[in-house]
Amino acid sequence: MFKRNKKVKLTFHTRNTQQLVDMFGPNNGHKLLPDWMKALGKSKNDNIPNMNTCPGFVDLLKKSVAIPLWADHKITYQGSQILNVQVPGVPDNEIHMSVQQHHPDQWGNAFKNSAHVKLMSPWLVTSNSDIEWMMHDPTWHKNKSMGHYTLTPGLLNFKYQSGTAVNMFLTPSDIPATITIEAGTIIAYLTPMADIDVEVECKQVSSDEWAALTKHQFTFSNTYNKTKKFLDRGNT
């Protein structure tokens, strides 16, 4: 008898419009295939199979969740500094709610002259399982933007936090440079660190429901590890 993989549900919540859910909701990777893969037919040479039959590539998309960018982002930068950010519908005095930046001092002497960008996602995520997920660069969806930006990989566990901010470095430039990433671009992959089947749901929630999903502010430092400690104490 075959053993079936455990099914894990990820629910993406937003307080934004229903159109965001309908147009740019995250989904299973194999349901948001890159255009170049959709255009692939059967290989004409059995000894050189197309990528749509490569197990490593196909399995990655089957297992992962693809996150589309929720709005156009136009970012002007120079060296490690962000000079200007434009996002449709976001006034200049609120742009920090859409795009933020970690200070270069946080990584010492590494990544010199590289601009860090943190895209503040409109999605908060809950899960019915305590497993870790890797957020990483959506390389297979970057055929038109390879080399423009690189996501910094990291692990998320939605038992302890619900945020899905996207961290990246932009291509180094000593002169002012501008990058525009369009809405609908797959901006990140979420890949489970377990052999599971993933069910994805996206839904609009009220501001009160959204607030209930955010982190409880209770400490001046080390919030994630302290949250994990207190939430896990009943399981020891």
Q: For 140-180, how does the pLDDT look when each residue is reduced to its tens digit (9 = 90+)?
A: 999 989 899 999 999 999 999 999 999 999 999 999 999 99
Closest CA to 14 of 215, 213, 210: 210
Domain boundaries, the chain: 11-39+51-230
Residue-level pLDDT at 54: 86
| 136 CB-near residues (< 8 Å, 6+ apart) | 151, 153, 188, 189, 191
Judged by average pLDDT, the poorest of 9-18, 19-28, 65-74, 216-225 is 216-225
